[in-house]
Amino acid sequence: MTNKRLLYVTAFDDRHGKRRWRFRRKGYPPYSFKSPHGTKAFEREYAACLNADQAPVASRPSIPGSVSDVIARYYSDNAFLDLRPSTQGVYRGVLERFREAFGDVSIKAFDADRIARLMTAMRHKPHAAARLRKLLAQLLRLARRSKLVPVGFDPIKDTKAPKTEGGGYHPWTEEELAAFENEFPVGTKPRLAFDLLLYGAQRSGDVRLMTPAIIAGGRIRLDQSKTTNSVDIPVVAPLQVSLDAGPLGRVTLMETKDGEPYTEKGFYGMMKKACIKAGIPHCSPHGLRKAAARRCKDAGCTNEEGMAITGHKSEKEYLRYAGSNARPEVADAAMNKVMANRTVRLASTPSQPIEKRA
């Protein structure tokens, strides 16, 4: 990373003559780096800056007690300021869309009935609905504290977000994995993203911002952006073949045709189009991490071995590591089981193309 020019990052000397670095990109919040250039910590800060793709904050005056007023107060509250930059970017995106629709409406108008109707209108987007409901709870908590609504005004507790069908994103089956591999051979961008997601077993947000420094020496070493959990797992043979074939970006492994790191929406859109072309439109990149976890279970991995690969803290927050939770020796054992099971499965199952779905 130290030998490569980072997009949107420039150096300058401060008034003490010390070299500093800053991030500047149109439409993104400016940022001054806290960690020394070239370090892992610097790299994490850079990833967070790239991840903060949000709409600009409205600058017109807010009506006191309105949704826009409460959102502005929330942005300057510790509940928001203590969040990671990447999480702030995601939350701003949700809140700015909500502000655009309801900015001048009084926060008092969002009683249980109105919030319930909002949740019903978003049944086709259950994850987005749940996130909005969570943020509305934050706004209403701040509104109560600021005496913008009565102390007992807590309509969130009387509402429910729509249930996610099937318990979340669809986990890919072996037939669906084979369909994608048949459609996109090694050496194509969708296949590289697919192999990073499946054999790296990490979230899309971490995969799309991976740099060569994260995958070095035959291992994937990173602190997950969502949980800060550390993972240290081997780069298995199928993934190494895919990395060797590319195409690799200049700064991040996955880059757009313009040479820029993918945004969250851009990466999802690229993979979703590939899924449709492969005849599996119901699949999404998020489900590949589930497929990786399922493969661990099918291979006989223990919970500890599986979590060393995926980076989960626990099945249900029951297993936590003291200090550094990267477990390279446990991850190696788990990956060996997964690859051995894959070899047995390939030897015993004839290759059959999956019928494309309309």
Domain limits for position 139: 54-167
Asked if residue 332 has pLDDT above 80, the reply is no
C-alpha separations of 151 from 79, 148, 155, 270, 334 in Å: 19, 9, 12, 46, 52
34 inside domain: no
Query: 119 and 193 in one domain?
Result: no
More confident residue, 30 or 154: 154
The pTM of the full predicted model, rounded to 2 decimals, is 0.55
Out of 1-5, 51-55, 114-118, the most confident range is: 114-118
Question: Which helix (DSSP H) or strand (DSSP E) does residue 212 occupy?
Answer: none
- At 105, is the pLDDT very low, low, confident or very high (cuts 50, 70, 90)? very high
Query: 151 and 181 in one domain?
Result: no
Q: Considering 102, 134, 167, which residue would you say is the last residue of a domain?
A: 167
Please tell me the least confidently modeled range out of 32-36, 149-153, 224-228.
224-228
Separation of CA 80 from chain center:
18
Query: 243 and 328 in one domain?
Result: yes
Query: 255 and 180 in one domain?
Result: yes
Domain CATH number, residue 118 = 1.10.150.130
182 inside domain: yes
Query: 124 and 98 in one domain?
Result: yes
pLDDT digits (tens, 9 = 90+) for 237-249: 999 999 999 899 8
Asked if residue 347 has pLDDT above 90, the reply is no
Q: Considering 150, 167, 184, which residue would you say is the last residue of a domain?
A: 167
pLDDT number for residue 221: 87
pLDDT digits (tens, 9 = 90+) for 172-184: 888 999 999 999 9
Domain count, the chain: 2
Q: What share of the chain is helix, strand, coil (3-state, %, to 5)?
A: 50, 10, 45
